[in-house]
Amino acid sequence: MSRFNIDRNPICWNERVHLEPERLNDICNLEDFINENFVKQGFTPVQHGRVIALRATDKGRKSSAFASALYLGKYDDMGNTDRFINGMVKAGHSYEPIRGETVTFLFIGVSKTVYDHLITYTIRNRRIAGGFRANKPWGFVVPYEAKDPWLYHRMLEEQLARCEQLRKDHPEESLQAIRSLYPIGVMMPPFMLDFSEEALVKNVFKQRIWEQGAQGETRDIVNSMFETVRSLDPEKWETLQEYHGPHIEGHNRAMRKLREQRPTLRQLVAKNKNAQADVMDLDVYELLMDTVGKLPKTMWDKAS
């Protein structure tokens, strides 16, 4: 079996992500134990950016295949690993077969802001995070919305340096008290979250990357979560994306507007500036998505 190596580039060498150099040795230790505890057990950790999917319980879709067969009473074909995605998902049936299947994610070099966004999902299965009870930040992360990253870099660095100086000048002060002085952009120590596959599809991915409004770094981190699971099983996760992805919001908006406004075909064609086109040759899907299905800009789009 091949050894898993943590890619340091997105964690250490990035204009928006500043990792304290002393933590490089800790990353080496993390890497060793990932290989000892996961690779040697037959799992294949996958990294994308600052996210590592350590393990997924539905290896080869065998577990969800068994659950799907039980759910549908298909006792003579229980090894059908395509039944859930090609049958139940496409038919809009229950997602029970993957509700019990979990993915374990390790986050390294992520800001407290993103941690706070992720931890709001009470549908997570497990949270392992040391936090700042008695731990120092691992560095800091400049917000993606910052126009001048190096300006924020200097200010964050200065604030953390002042906190460190306070510890030296006043050793009687505990880390629990000093943490109140940390800026919101501090980097969390590595933390681990487990989510069921159903929760990822219907909540985490849906709200943070497939719907409008997710903020910069949070969107980036959750997108990395999606890319890791897609690497583990492209067909499964691309199928789930097709039925829950970013285009679904436009579909819902289009159907709602059609129901409420009842526009004529002439009005839609005129609105799409295709008045001279042959109606019989128009791409109906494109017409709908460019008119009644067109999503408004979010506050984040307007700010960029």
Give 216's contacts (C-beta < 8 A, 6+ positions apart): 143, 144, 145, 300
User: CA neighbours within 13 Å on the CB side: how many for 277?
Assistant: 16
pLDDT for residue 258: 74
Total number of residues shown for the chain: 304
> Could you tell me which of 121, 113, 103 has the C-alpha nearest to residue 137?
113
Q: What is the rounded distance in angstroms from the CA atom of residue 195 to the CA atom of residue 105?
A: 8
> Could you tell me which of 188, 192, 162 has the C-alpha nearest to residue 23?
188
- From first to last of the 304 residues of the chain, give the pLDDT tens digit: 689 999 999 998 888 999 999 999 999 999 999 999 999 999 999 999 999 999 999 999 999 999 999 988 999 999 999 999 888 888 888 888 898 899 999 999 999 999 998 988 767 778 888 777 678 899 999 998 888 999 999 999 999 999 989 989 998 988 888 888 998 899 999 999 999 999 999 999 998 998 877 778 999 999 999 999 999 999 999 999 998 888 777 777 777 877 787 877 777 777 766 655 666 666 777 776 777 667 666 554 555 5
Q: What is the rounded distance in angstroms from the CA atom of residue 135 to the CA atom of residue 208?
A: 28
Q: What is the rounded distance in angstroms from the CA atom of residue 203 to the CA atom of residue 131?
A: 24
Backbone phi, then psi, for 172, in 5-degree steps? -75, -15
- Angle value at C-alpha 223, between 118 and 149, nearest 5 degrees: 85
The whole-model pTM stands at 0.86
Measured over the CA atoms of residue 56, residue 62, residue 66 and residue 68, the dihedral's sign is positive
Q: Tell me the domain boundaries of the chain.
A: 9-57+100-233, 247-303
CATH of domain 9-57+100-233: 3.30.1360
